[in-house]
Amino acid sequence: MSMTTGGGGGYSSDINVTPMIDILLVLLIIFMVIVPVTPKGLDALVPQPPKDPQKQQQTDRTIVVQVLYRPGASPTYKINETDVDKRDLLARLTEIYANRAERVMFVRGDDDLNFAYIAEVIDIGRAANVDHIGLMTPKIQAGQ
């Protein structure tokens, strides 16, 4: 704050920084509000182990799409244990999830498989209106 006292009617050479601080605080608040709070990335759903190990889960409700590696050839696809051609995968998943309220699908791929094939199955699942798509890891598979 710059103040002069007395009878000198000249100009003051002190800089008044109060308006600059006010502008800085307003810009700081604006940038804090603009920054998105939600994290970006792939939503992953991991299957949880059963709370009661004596009780068997219903296997007909759980849909697992397997992508199996074949050296030197394109991978093979299975829905649960049924072989499915890649061209028929979208139609078959759409048929499975047509009357389901719970649209959860898990994808399991072999270790030697390129992740592009897994991402392609995830895209096919999204096209079949699957709400939650989870990835099965070797640790989860060993617990089953």
Cα 109–63–53 angle (5° rounding)?
95
pLDDT in tens, 89-110: 999 999 988 888 888 899 998 8
Q: Among residues 48, 47, 144, 66, which one has the least CA distance to residue 108?
A: 66
**Angle, in degrees to the nearest 10, between helices 115-127 and 86-96:** 40
Per-residue pLDDT at 77: 92
Round the CA-based radius of gyration of the chain to a whole number and report it.
30
What is residue 103's predicted lDDT score, i.e. its pLDDT?
Answer: 87
Tokens encoding 10: 């000249």
- 57 pLDDT tier (thresholds 50, 70, 90): very low
pLDDT above 70 covers a percentage of the chain that reads: 72
- Is residue 30 over pLDDT 80? yes
The alpha carbon of 48 is separated from its chain's Cα centroid by a whole number of angstroms, namely: 18
Percent of all residues in the chain with a pLDDT value above 90, rounded to a whole number? 19
| Residue 128 · residue 97 · CB < 8 Å | yes
What architecture does CATH give domain 63-142? 2-Layer Sandwich (3.30)
What pLDDT score does 27 carry?
93
Which pLDDT score is estimated for 59?
Answer: 47
List the chain domain ranges.
Answer: 63-142
Backbone region of residue 129 per phi and psi (left: phi > 0; alpha: psi in -120 to 50; beta: other values):
left
The answer to whether the beta carbons of residues 76 and 110 sit under 8 Å apart is: no
What's the rounded mean pLDDT across residues 48-64?
Answer: 63
